Amino acid sequence: MHYGNDWNGGSWWWIPMMLMMVVFWGGLIWLGVALVRRSGHAPAAPMTPSSPSTSMRSTPQEILAERLARGEIEPDDYRSRKAVLDSDGR
């Protein structure tokens, strides 16, 4: 007796089932990535020796030397400002 159910007779049914699983899991992963990006929480980058720590502060002399190295001030201006910094605490 045949009831019109052909699930056992055909081997084609696994194709749409596999496609639906790929769509389901892909959508779930996409949703997770979208929520993480929207929340604005990025994974914390590990501290490297070259990146300055927030607990380490530069001295005024170091900041002045960095400004000279970047070309923000002239050597004459550097020397006069350094003299003021050196004589300020003495």
Domain ranges (residues) in the chain: 10-40, 57-90
Window from 2-6, 72-76, 83-87 with minimum mean pLDDT: 2-6
Output the pLDDT for position 30. Answer: 96
Give the Cα separation of 25 and 18 in Å (integer). 11
- How much of the chain exceeds pLDDT 90, in percent? 47
Q: For residue 6, is pLDDT > 60?
A: no
- How much of the chain exceeds pLDDT 70, in percent? 69
The full 3-state SS of 64-87, as one line of letters, equals HHHHHHHCCCCHHHHHHHHHHHHH
Output the pLDDT for position 46. Answer: 60
Give the Cα separation of 90 and 85 in Å (integer). 10
